[in-house]
Structures are given as structure tokens and as C-alpha cells.
Amino acid sequence: MLMNLVLVGATGLVGRKMIQLLEERNFQIDNFYAVASERSVGKEVLFRGKPHKIISVEESLTKSPHIAIFSAGGSTSKQWAPKFAEINCFVIDNSSAWRMEAGVPLVVPEINGTAIGKTDYIIANPNCSTIQMVLALSPLHNKYKIKRVVVSTYQSVTGSGAKGINQLMAERNNESPQEKAYPHPIDMNIIPHAGDFVDDNYTTEEVKLVNETQKILDENIKVTATVVRVPVDGGHSEAVNLEFENDFTIFEVTRILGAMRGLVVFDIPEANMYPMPYLAKDKDEVFVGRIRRDMSQEKSLNLWIVSDNLRKGAATNAIQIAEYLVVNKFITK
């Protein structure tokens, strides 16, 4: 069987990471089609050492694609994903456009790959900060039933794309950024603001953490979030407090987390060993440490969770979904 794969948004920060991951994971592709904005059409990207001309999204529809991975923003996904679905091409969308749409599976393969049906031609990739958190929460929820989650994130500038990195590096070099991702300096600063402010003074990034966690794990879990942007580029970090229905031991919690696929327990405090963004950078795993009981509240636990947001938080998770489709024979053309 031939595999025709379209990557929409191939020149962006996440798109380039997806090309890298497709190569690293040796994903079987017979025909690779790179799509980007109109101003990039005709330029080239390298894939497996060979140049591929960038084509328009309209042209890519004519290539009989089996899988289309979208990483080009919500408006592009809303406009074009249904057109690919109409020709029975599976769309894996990295934007927020389809995540909360009824009937569209929101998937972290280690947790809920089975949520994908044979005719679910649009599949949503969760938000980067959601992915790493629910990967740690899922096995604990299965065992102890999570009642409430309180999460504060420390999010890398890479979550804002090249613009965020460029602003940080320009400020670090005492230069004025050509284009700002943030309304304040990010170097030597932290900004309690990511996304847009919405109702009740929460941001869209905070609302995503609430809604997506409930959709993936359990609509009855109460979630509250504070999202913070920090001047690092290695990955996102999260301080997570969990309240359970059932009690636990730290030994058992550590064992359960250690057995979860895609999760690494890195927690030796006496040796100053705990997850940090620079250790997680360029890795696919989600790292968890600082595992300790919340002494102020019964049946409550504190965790520190770190992951490379461009990899597991975006590119790796999307490609794992594509791998799931292939392994489970969703694609038969």
C-alpha cells in the first residue's frame, strides 16, 4: 500500500519539527507533500535528504493523500480540514480549531487512541500543556479518581513560535525585537499571560487546560489553571496539585507513574535530580518529579511535570496518532 502524506504548515516551527520527527521515527511515506502559505509556494524543504517543492493546499488535495497533518493555525484548519475529510483523508490537526468539537476525538495515543473511529477523518491533537499533564494524570485517575486539579504552568517561548524565540534572543542581546510576541519584555522576566483574556479574566490557554483535560479524562474533574510564560526554550513545566477521592501512598503513586508508557519518573531530591526544561529538550518523554503529599489537604498530591512542548506537546503526539492509524489498519487505500 502506498502512503501519501501532506504536511500543512511545513515551514513553521512545529512543521519543521514534524519533518524531523517523521525522519527520526522512520514513518513509512511513499509520497511526501509539503504545504505552506502562498508566499512560500515554489520554495523547497528538505525531507530525508531530498528537496521537496512547497505546494498549495489546493494542489495537495489532488495528490490522493491518506494522512494530512495540519500545523498552520485554526482558521486554515477550519477551512481545509473538512475538504480533506470529504475525500476520506485522515486529518490530524494541531490547532485548537477542532479540539472541543462534538464527535471529534481529542487524542493522546497512550491514553485514548481507541477513541478514534474508522470514519473519524478529523482528529484533534491536544494543546501542548494539556498533553504532558494528562499523560501523568491518566493512570492516577484510573486508580484513585481525581476530584480536582490546580495547575500553574511555566511555558517556554517556543510555544509562541519563532516570534517568541526571536523576542527572547533579541532582548538577551540588548537588541530591539523586529516583531514582539509578548506585550512586555520576556528576558529576565515572567509573564502571567498566554493566549487572549476571556471571561472572568482567564486566558484562552488556561481555558484549554480545563476543557481538554475534562474531555480526555473525565468531565467531572474540576480544573483551575494559571498559565505563565518564562524565558526558556527547552519545554513547558507544570506545578500540579491533585485532590483524589481515594487515598494513596507515595510508593504506589511512583510505581504507577513509572509504569505509564511515555512517562519517566525523575525524582531523587537528595541528589538534586528533578525534571527541568533543559533536560527535557529534544526528548519525546514526559518527565515527572517532586512527587510529594500535600500536607495541607487530605488525599492530595503535588507533582512537577516537564516536557519538550515542540515534541511530545505537538509533533511527536501528532505522528504517534498517524502511527496508530497505520498500525490499526485505518488506512486501506
- Collapsing DSSP to helix, strand or coil, 93 comes out as strand
Q: Which three cell numbers stand for residue 29?
A: 511515506
Picking from 189, 132, 153, the residue whose alpha carbon sits closest to that of residue 309 is: 132
Active-site residue, selected from the candidate residues 52, 66, 141, 236: 236
Active-site residue, selected from the candidate residues 89, 128, 184, 193: 128
Query: Is 236 annotated as catalytic?
Result: yes
The position carrying cell 484548519 is 77
Query: Is 66 annotated as catalytic?
Result: no
Longest dimension (CA), the chain: 61
**Domains along the chain?**
4-125+314-327 (3.40.50.720), 129-308 (3.30.360.10)
Q: Which three cell numbers stand for residue 93?
A: 490537526
Q: pLDDT under 70 in the chain at which residues?
A: 1, 333
pLDDT at 1: 65
Residues β-bridged to residue 146: 244
- Separation of alpha carbons 264 and 93, rounded Å: 26
- Separation of alpha carbons 104 and 92, rounded Å: 11
> Amino acid identity, residue 165?
I
Give the pTM: 0.96
- pLDDT tens digit sequence for 209-253: 999 999 999 999 999 999 999 999 989 999 999 999 999 999 999
pLDDT at 234: 87
Reported as half-sphere exposure (CB side, CA atoms, 13 A), residue 69 has a value of 31
- What ranges make up the beta strands (E) of 72-183? 90-93, 122-124, 146-155
- Separation of alpha carbons 265 and 280, rounded Å: 12
The answer to whether 22 and 52 have CB atoms below 8 angstroms apart is: no
Helix 316-327 and helix 13-24, axial crossing angle in degrees, nearest 10: 50
pLDDT at 290: 98
